[in-house]
Amino acid sequence: MKLTDLFKKKQVFSFEVFPPKRTAPIDSIYNTLDELKNFKPDFISVTYGAGGSENFEKTLHVAKTIKDKCKIESLAHLSCIGLNKEDMYKLLSEFRENGIENILALRGDLNPSIKLSKDFRHAVDLVEFIRENGDFDIAGACYPEGHPDAESFEADLKNLKYKVDAGCTHLITQLFYDNEDFYYFRDRCEKAGIDVPIEAGIMPVVNKAQIERTVSLCGARLPSKFLRIMDKYGDKPESMHAAGIAYAVDQIVDLLTQGTDGIHLYTMNRSDVAGRIYNNISPLLM
Ligand code: FAD
């Protein structure tokens, strides 16, 4: 099923998982998927580790398992830096042959170990290429606080508009901890003529090390309400776990109330955390 159809019917609830790391066997994710299935997501997305065909095969395998074994729609992430058009064509063919219908088209993070491709500089190049070379539904990433590499918030918004005009039919945001940033962004998208559904990306923070790592990677702003929780409970694991889940639930309730198109939960493969959130919000998901 194409994901676009889902957004016409309801406020979507989705999860993100990552394939097992290099040292773990691929089937180590099956238990997580079995548990996540109980929380009735509309789809599950699977991240893509840039560089090397092994990573592509893992993403493909997990996305196919979600679709064929769990009977849940899947969204396969795919990043383009470092790949040329010929390689990309092969990857798209593999997706198609394995029944994958939805792709999250990404640039990928710049990394000195990845030689940049002349064919794909930005995600918009990948969106155009997918549009021309296959019948996929294409999602794109977006950044309520602006992408860290962007010249400005305005420039980022302009680039996002190109990406949507090139064929993205749905956007998923980077994680954020202040819903006001999301509402401002959503408003600016509307004014800029970006009219596709925007899912809000929520990452529950259940320990102090996790938030320190996350913030250093994506630069998300932490509002004072969140910092006070960290100050009080950061060194008390059980309390931090409970407060982190409550914070995410609070964010989600507000987002659903304000008519957000969907909630995308960055599960970090923690089905226990996803379950506790689901149990709190399930009566709101219609
Ligand atoms: P782009 O849309 O290309 O934007 C990147 C930067 O380039 C922005 O600053 C933008 O303003 C600028 N830009 C865009 N188009 C143009 C243009 N035409 N001219 C000039 N400047 C331009 N990474 C992974 O490696 N694997 C994953 O699985 C993964 N999943 C993700 C899922 C989500 C929901 C999100 C939000 C991010 C994910 N990422 C993943 C991270 C992502 O790859 C990085 O954030 C990356 O730095 C940017 O990717 P993008 O697709 O948003 O790039």
pLDDT at 117: 87
Which residue ranges make up each domain of the chain?
A: 4-284
Given pLDDT bands bounded at 50, 70 and 90, which one contains residue 196?
very high
Given pLDDT bands bounded at 50, 70 and 90, which one contains residue 10?
very high
Atom 51 (ligand 1): residue with closest C-alpha?
Answer: 106
Q: For residue 83, what are the contacts with CB-CB under 8 A and spacing of at least 6?
A: 91, 117, 119, 120
Give the bridge partners for 141, in sequence order.
Answer: 172
In the predicted model, is pLDDT for residue 100 greater than 80?
A: yes
Distance CA 108, CA 158 (A): 19
Atom 25 (ligand 1): residue with closest C-alpha?
Answer: 108
Give the range among 24-38, 156-170, 176-190 with minimum mean pLDDT: 24-38
Give the range among 109-113, 118-122, 197-201, 259-263 with minimum mean pLDDT: 109-113
User: What atom of ligand 1 comes closest to residue 147's alpha carbon?
Assistant: 9
pLDDT at 199: 98
What interhelical angle do 179-191 and 237-257 show, nearest 10?
30
Q: Model pTM?
A: 0.97
The DSSP secondary structure of 236-271, one letter per residue, reads -HHHHHHHHHHHHHHHHHHHHHTT-SEEEEE-TT-H
In the predicted model, is pLDDT for residue 113 greater than 90?
A: no
Task: Quote the ligand 1 centre to 10 CA distance (angstroms).
Answer: 27
16 is catalytic: yes
End-to-end C-alpha distance for the chain, whole angstroms: 19
Given pLDDT bands bounded at 50, 70 and 90, which one contains residue 228?
very high
Q: Judging by DSSP bridges, how do beta strands 102-106 and 137-142 pair with one another?
A: parallel
pLDDT at 36: 98
Given pLDDT bands bounded at 50, 70 and 90, which one contains residue 181?
very high
Atom 13 (ligand 1): residue with closest C-alpha?
Answer: 159
pLDDT tens-place string over residues 33-82? 999 999 999 999 999 987 667 799 999 999 999 999 999 999 999 999 98
The CA-atom distances, in angstroms, between 1 and each of 70, 104, 140, 249 are 14, 15, 18, 28
Task: Quote the ligand 1 centre to 173 CA distance (angstroms).
Answer: 11
pLDDT at 51: 67
pLDDT at 245: 97
CATH no. for 4-284: 3.20.20.220
Q: With contact defined as beta carbons under 8 Å apart, do 252 and 277 qualify?
A: yes
pLDDT tens-place string over residues 272-281? 999 999 999 9
Percent of the chain residues topping a pLDDT of 90: 86
* Binding pocket residue ranges, ligand 1, CB within 6 Å: 47-48, 50, 77, 79, 106-109, 122-124, 141, 147, 149-150, 155-156, 159, 162-163, 172, 174, 201
Helix, coil or strand: residue 205? coil
Show the tokens assigned to 11.
Answer: 């406020």
State residue 12 phi and psi, 5-degree precision. -80, 145
